[in-house]
Amino acid sequence: MSPSPIPAAGLFVAIHSPQIRRPRCPIPSAPSVITARSPTNFWHWKNFSPAEIACRGTGQLKLNPAAMDRLQALRDRLGKPMILRSAYRTPEHNRSVGGAPRSKHMEGIAFDVSMANHDRQAFIAAAEAVGFGGIGTYPRSNFIHVDARQVPARWGEPFPARATPFATEAPLAREALAQSRTLRGTGAAGVATVGAAGVEVAQEVLAEAQGTVLPLVPYLDTLRWVFIALALGGIALAVWARLDDWRKGLR
């Protein structure tokens, strides 16, 4: 299924009063002016905030929902954070930063993404897959421009090969905390030690009590030795688990 077409105009604008009437529909049907501090009840792009999309120079925000849907789809496909260096620009701010006279940033459908944490080729392939038509590479500034224009376009210099490719993400070798044998062993030893100390205190208290409770003292002595045995067993389990982890290379 091809990506949805991008409307000619986005949602545009400015808040003149904090007393704003919230729209009844998820996204206002008529052009609206908002800023990065506007209510976000219509915002459904979970990995991005209005402040990230707003003009860096004025704080105004021109929003194109279809372009934002593609941006979120790109984020989902990559599976890692995206650092936006530029998104919407007002015409004034676009001129001040030396942007192209007809820059797609002014339409709210363009995004400059840092390549600090992305493989360039994988990023470009993902951007094409989700429907971004314009892709520009800027290796000297280490970012890639993507926009949702209708007619595909490619420009820019190729990125040099990375000296060290990004490592594939793998699950941690260590055991999960809830499944840690070491944690279980030390926990059992700790509980048993506290129990043995508690029994010893109880023995001293009962020894000073009336004769009716004296028959219980021998049983408490046995219980204390049971707790001591459990404590030693827990310590042994913890030591064995650490040695076993070391042998398997799970340091």
pLDDT in tens, 133-167: 999 999 999 999 999 999 999 999 999 887 776 66
Closest CA to 82 of 35, 54, 134, 119: 119
Structural domain spans, the chain:
11-156, 177-248
11-156: CATH topology is: Muramoyl-pentapeptide Carboxypeptidase; domain 2 (3.30.1380)
pLDDT in tens, 130-142: 999 999 999 999 9
pLDDT in tens, 60-114: 998 899 999 999 999 999 999 999 999 999 999 999 999 999 999 999 999 999 9
First to last CA, the chain: 48
Residues forming beta bridges with residue 12, ordered by sequence position: 62
The single residue listed with the structure tokens 């030893």 is: 189
Type of residue at 203: Q
Tokens of 22: 């919230």
d(CA 68, CA 76): 12
**pTM greater than 0.85:** no
